[in-house]
Amino acid sequence: MSEEELASALGEARLGLAQLRAWHESDFLPLLALPSRRDDLETLWPVLASFQELCTDILVLGTGGSSLGGRALCALAQPHRGLRVHFLENVDPWRFAQLFDSLDLERTGVIAISKSGGTSETMMQLLACLKRFRQSVGNAGIARRFTVITEPGANPLRRLAGEFAIPCLDHDPGIGGRFSALSLVGLLPAAIAGLDIGAVRNGAAEVLEAAMAAGDTRDCAPALGAAVSVALAREHGIAATVFLAYADGLRDTALWFRQLWAESLGKDGNGTTPIDAVGTVDQHSQLQLWLDGPADKMFTIVTAPSLGQGDRIDPEMTARIPELDWLAGRSLGDLLEAHARGTADALAAKGRPVRTMRLDAVDEHSLGALMMHFMLETIIAAHMMGVDPFDQPAVEEGKIRARAYMDATR
Ligand code: PA5
């Protein structure tokens, strides 16, 4: 990309950033107030305490933005520090049955999350759960073990919750599903999994404050990222964006990013196709295409310090195998770090656009920061493309047809 192209894209990104700043100052976009809020978490603690008293396992029902943020956060959980959290997401009958086979329903809680309160998959999951729990713990047991998060006002989910005396927490109507990871939607499952949700918000606050305070648009990482992405797509045919995380703990974050980017920007012929990937695993799956296939992708490589981390290979193990000598005395983390750098360098050497984001650690603070970064970048990119990042009108068509098939096959 030439300096002129970048300067012109940054000029457009500046307008998106100005819009964000105006929203921040006027409290128009509740997402931007979340990082510094703590009052909303007050409703969460009693629910958490009750789950901790009764349960070993929690099922989170919900799909899309009502699931992926919490799932990305919960992937950071340490075993035995919190309850086991299972994200159902789908209506796959086999997985549903398999999961229930492994659960003791006396010791299982359920959180049903749907902003609209009408998503068919989530309603179906909840109805199926209610049937199973009614048989094992009865209606009184359901009221103690279930919680719903949905918008205020009448909707099918709230009505169903009322029938079973299930407590409801409010989903802020001003926060869209895929922008809700930092709200109760993502933070209740995260707290249940034993994570420090204050640290998630602190990380998000740091990125937000830096973006709001940046003097030059070039110094605002989300605006710069949006400018580069949009200009590469427009001027250089970069039609896909690869999120490549060198940490298993970020595998679900890659899925969260994929939804955020795809559903927010894929409108009126705009958008670039997000691809989720994990290093080093995808070096043995997709890297050949990235290096030698069509030059139509940009790459975001996310790493965390791993040098010296993990099991270290005892030199005596490789003493008689010269081919393995280079691994002697080295740790798993050494090899991970070397591959991350090697892949970034190889892509760049091939002329592929690469940016590297280095986290301080794969932890709550860094993930809060990363999520805020990508939400801001997405909103600014949407502004540059002239699309609304907060709706998803095209997906309605498929839902209407699915309903018709259900009716026709009754
Ligand atoms: O990001 C979005 O807005 C969507 O992916 C929704 O989260 C998803 O469709 C689920 O919607 P709801 O929370 O209303 O059940």
**Helix, strand, coil percent content, the chain, rounded in steps of 5:** 60, 10, 30
Say yes or no to pLDDT of 19 above 90: yes
Inside any domain, residue 6: no
Give yes or no for residue 80 having a pLDDT over 90: no
Residue of the CA atom closest to atom 2 of ligand 1:
177
Is residue 207 included in any domain, yes or no?
no
Verify that 310 and 177 share a domain, yes or no. Answer: no
Residue type, 265: L
Say whether both 188 and 273 belong to one domain.
no
In a domain, 94, yes or no: yes
How far, in Å, CA of 18 to CA of 295, rounded? Answer: 33
Q: Within this chain, do residues 276 and 348 fall inside the same structural domain, yes or no?
A: yes
Helix, strand, or coil (residue 231) = helix
Exposure string of 102-112, with b = 16+ CB inside 10 Å and e = fewer, is ebebeebbbbb
Same-domain pairing of 305 and 189: no
Q: Is residue 208 part of a domain?
A: no
Which atom belonging to ligand 1 lies closest to the Cα atom of 67?
A: 7
- Going from the Cα of 408 to the center of ligand 1, the distance in angstroms, rounded, reads 26
385 within domain boundaries: yes
What tokens does 295 get? 């030059």
**Cβ atoms of residues 198 and 368 within 8 Å:** no
Q: How many CB atoms lie within 10 A of CB 358?
A: 12
390 Cα nearest atom in ligand 1: 3
Residue 79's pLDDT band, with cuts at 50, 70 and 90, is confident
156 and 38 inside one domain: yes
Q: Which of 31, 67, 91, 119 to mutate to test the pocket of ligand 1 (most atoms within 8 A of CB)?
A: 119
Q: Which atom of ligand 1 approaches the CA of 119 most closely? A: 15
Residue with tokens 């005396």: 165
pLDDT above 90: residue 364: yes
The two most distant CA atoms of the chain are separated, in Å, by 72
The range of the structural domain enclosing residue 144 comes to 33-198
CB 168 within 8 A of CB 143: no
User: Cα(234)–Cα(98) distance, rounded to whole angstroms?
Assistant: 46
Cα separation, 70 vs 171, whole angstroms: 14
Q: Are 156 and 222 members of one domain?
A: no
Could you tell me the distance, in angstroms and rounded to a whole number, from the CA of residue 349 to the centre of ligand 1?
A: 40
CA-proximal residue: ligand 1, atom 8 (nearest)? 64
Element (H, E) at 372: helix 364-385
pLDDT, position 334 = 98
Pair 105, 252 in one domain: no
What is the position in ligand 1's atom list of the atom closest to the CA of 121?
15
Tell which one of 116, 124, 126, 150 to mutate to probe ligand 1, the residue whose CB is within 8 A of the most ligand atoms: 116
Q: Do the beta carbons of residue 322 and residue 313 sit within 8 Å?
A: no
How many angstroms separate the alpha carbon of residue 203 from the centre of ligand 1? 24
Closest atom of ligand 1 relative to the 260 alpha carbon: 1
Q: Give me the pLDDT at residue 149, please.
A: 98
* Closest C-alpha to ligand 1, atom 5: 64
Per the rule left: phi > 0, alpha: psi between -120 and 50, beta: everything else, 27 is: left
Protein residue whose Cα sits closest to atom 3 of ligand 1: 177
- In terms of domains, do 362 and 257 share one? yes
Q: What is the mean pLDDT of residues 319-329?
A: 96
Is there a single domain that holds both residue 53 and residue 135? yes
Rounded Cα–Cα distance for residues 255 and 64 (Å):
10
Residue 340 belongs to some domain of the structure: yes
Question: Can you tell me the distance from the alpha carbon of 52 to that of 65, in angstroms, rounded to the nearest whole number?
Answer: 25
In the predicted model, what is the mean pLDDT of residues 163-188? 97
**Six token digits for residue 281:** 């695993």
Q: Is the pLDDT of residue 66 over 90?
A: yes
> What's the rounded Cα separation, in Å, for the pair 161 and 78?
32
Q: Please answer whether residues 34 and 179 qualify as being in contact, where contact means their C-beta atoms are separated by less than 8 angstroms.
A: no
How far away, in angstroms, is 220 Cα from ligand 1 center?
A: 29
Q: Which of 198, 227, 260 marks a domain boundary?
A: 198
The dihedrals phi and psi of 141, each to the nearest 5 degrees, come to -65, -35
**299-335 burial, b for 16+ CB within 10 Å, e for fewer?**
bbbbbbebeeeeeebeeeebeeeeeeeebeebbebbb
- Compute the distance from residue 174 Cα to the ligand 1 centre, in Å: 13
What is the whole-number distance in angstroms between the Cα of residue 181 and the centre of ligand 1?
12
CATH number of the domain residue 389 falls in: 3.40.50.10490
| Single-letter amino acid code for the residue at 181 | A
Per-residue pLDDT of 302-315, as tens digits, reads 999 999 999 999 99
The length of the chain is 410
Q: How many domains does the chain have?
A: 2
Q: Same domain for 46 and 168?
A: yes
Give the residue ranges of DSSP H helices in 237-362: 251-265, 287-292, 315-318, 332-349
Which ligand 1 atom is the nearest neighbour of the CA of 179? 1
The per-residue pLDDT for range 263-299, each reduced to its tens digit, is 999 999 999 999 999 999 999 999 999 999 999 999 9
Cβ 126 vs Cβ 157: under 8 Å: yes
Q: Across residues 121-130, what is the average pLDDT?
A: 98
Q: How far is the centre of ligand 1, averaged over its atoms, from the C-alpha of 117 (Å)?
A: 10
Asked whether residue 313 is domain-assigned, the answer is yes
The residues carrying an active-site annotation are 263, 284, 399
Residue 407, domain member (yes or no) = no
Rounded CA-CA distance 92/89 in Å is 9
Residue ID of nearest Cα to ligand 1 atom 12:
114
- As a dihedral over the C-alpha atoms of residue 220, residue 203, residue 299, residue 216, rounded to 10 degrees, the angle is 0
Average pLDDT, the chain: 97
Regarding whether 60 and 123 lie in a shared domain, the answer is yes
Query: Ligand 1 test: best mutation among 68, 71, 87, 115, most atoms within 8 Å of CB?
Result: 115
> Could you tell me the distance, in angstroms and rounded to a whole number, from the CA of residue 196 to the centre of ligand 1?
25
Q: Assess contact for 310 and 327: CB atoms under 8 A.
A: no
Give the strands of the sheet with 108-113, arranged side by side: 84-87, 57-61, 108-113, 146-150, 168-170
Q: Are residues 267 and 166 in the same domain?
A: no
3-state class (DSSP) for residue 358: strand
Q: Which residues line ligand 1 at a C-beta cut-off of 6 Å? A: 63-66, 114-116, 119, 122, 176-178, 263, 392
